[in-house]
Structure 1
Amino acid sequence: MKKNIINSILLLSLIVLFESCALLTAAGLSSQGQPVKEVTPPLTSTTANSEVNVDHSDWDALLKKHVDEAGLVDYNGFKNDKAALNDYLNKLSQLTPTKKWSVQELLAYYINLYNAYTVDLIIDNYPVKSIKDIDGPWTKAIVPIGSKTLSLGGIENGVLRKMDEPRIHFAINCASISCPKLLREAFTAAKINEQLDKAAREFINSDKNDISQNNPKVSSIFDWYKKDYTVNGNQDVIGYINQYSDTKINKTATLSFKEYNWNLNEKE
């Protein structure tokens, strides 16, 4: 009897362990075999030196049609254009990125992939008040890439963050009010550096942050991903923000963080 109880406990522990490992993998602690290239500053915008130049014009057209200048999204409009969105998603998913792709192509591909599948997730569950009302939005494997299937968290943490380009945090959109706005154009290798700079500058100087010299209150993004924000190889959130902020924060100031608004970034 005692032996059976011990065996049951061991079995239960193994099940929990395997489920936890699956969750962690889905959440992005592994790249799932996706190619990762680190950005070597300064990042240049170019379509050269890449085995593939991906055409993102279909996504660009959808964004211009259904996203306004403030980054608010017409999800009903996207829902009506579901066939066009599916065609674009299928095109991306049929590709198999490799290290023969340039770092510019990889950045544009994974940013667009993340944003497009996030929109798709919302319209599949629409109407919804918040992405957090959806079960496992960042941990469920919903993004097919070749023979693999990743989660949104897997793309962000397993691939994009490992590319050592902190500006990706201002480019990917989690369908929420407090997120950096969804850009009204697709990211492309030909414009990637300028687009990332625009995204960083607009977000940092937006109402998502209350920046002052001595009492700055900034987005929780700068808390959650503080390890990513470095200057000259050292973690320096204030120094990083000051590279883009119109108002410079004193180096001795203490940052506080704004409460995140997870309500849907929906155009009324």
Structure 2
Amino acid sequence: MTDAGPGTADESASDVRWRTVARRLLERVRREEETEPLLRALAEADDVALSPIRTDRRAGLAFWLNVYNAATQLLLERRPELFESRLRFFRAHAVTVAGVDLSLDDVEHGIMRGGRSKYGLGYLPRLARTGLDGSYRLEPDPRIHFALNCGAASCPAVLAYDPETVDETLDDATAAHLDRTVEYDADHNRVRVPRVCLWFVGDFGGPSGIRALLYELEQVPPDSSPSLRFEEYDWTRTPRKFAD
């Protein structure tokens, strides 16, 4: 993927290719290059410019995955002290899109999870508003929980996403993360899975949905019905956990 050099004057909301702007931002974060032109372009965009991410599920999914992961890394770099309080970290201003200041919670729960609360195991609506209208919301996709990196040691590695291949890349990210973290105990017919599966069990369609995913990815035998155990989450601050 080609990218204009950092700080180029022609990167404005009027000429940025919106289907790839978030990917370009994430790549610059990874390379530790200048990000302000792209951040400014996101902030100055309007609904017309952002129509691709509001009308195309794959474009929206790739866009917000990249925005979230880029914004997290920038927040960890610029305001590392916030991570000492997870409440403050997730509610702090992380990125501005279309003139609206967004927190990481806004992006994940208000947009990517379609306005669901981070509490209530994925079954409750989110009462807080993001400031962006409902056309930006996505239908919840449980695979995002194996793709969003909030800066903790237990988070998945960061990948970059393109609209054309976002589903395939999410499948790969999900399989890779579960392959690293799932432990099946055949003697007791129980399986340990990441803690996010408990926090957002409703996104997965309940415990049976989690098991269906484990069957699909061959993490447990097809004729088993294991009990679920949830690993503790390691909140050690771990910035720049990019996939190789």
TM-score by length of 2: 0.69
- The answer to whether the 8 A contact 1:204-1:245 is kept is no
- The answer to whether the 8 A contact 2:68-2:148 is kept is yes
How many residues align? The count is: 195
How far residue 244 of structure 1 moved from its aligned partner, in angstroms, is 2.1
- The answer to whether the 8 A contact 2:193-2:230 is kept is yes
Paired position in structure 2 for 1:136: 88
Candidates 202, 223, 237, aligned match of 2:210? 237
Deviations 1:108-128, CA, capped at 9 Å, x for gaps: 1111111111011100124x6
Paired position in structure 2 for 1:89: 39
How far residue 267 of structure 1 moved from its aligned partner, in angstroms, is 6.5
Deviations 1:212-262, CA, capped at 9 Å, x for gaps: 44121111100000001139xx95211123222444376532111111001
2:97 counterpart of 1:145: yes
Structure 1 residue matching 2:101: 3-state secondary structure: strand
- The answer to whether the 8 A contact 2:21-2:38 is kept is no
Give the gaps of 5 or more residues in structure 1: 1-50, 66-77
Q: Distance in 2 between matches of 1:135 and 1:164?
A: 22
Of the structure 1 ranges 164-173 and 94-103, higher mean CA displacement relative to structure 2 is found in: 94-103
Q: Distance in 2 between matches of 1:188 and 1:238?
A: 28
- The answer to whether the 8 A contact 1:227-1:235 is kept is no
Candidates 50, 53, 59, aligned match of 1:105? 59
Paired position in structure 2 for 1:223: 198
Q: Distance in 1 between matches of 2:69 and 2:239?
A: 15
Structure 1 residue matching 2:162: 3-state secondary structure: coil
Candidates 231, 235, 238, aligned match of 1:265? 238
- The answer to whether the 8 A contact 1:92-1:113 is kept is no
Structure number, greater radius of gyration = 1
Deviations 1:125-154, CA, capped at 9 Å, x for gaps: 24x6x8344661112343211122221101
CA RMSD for the aligned pairs? Answer: 2.9
Q: Distance in 1 between matches of 2:168 and 2:104?
A: 24
Paired position in structure 2 for 1:169: 145
Give the gaps of 5 or more residues in structure 2: 1-16, 115-138
Paired position in structure 2 for 1:211: 184
Q: Distance in 2 between matches of 1:267 and 1:144?
A: 21
Paired position in structure 2 for 1:192: 166
Q: Distance in 1 between matches of 2:106 and 2:29?
A: 23
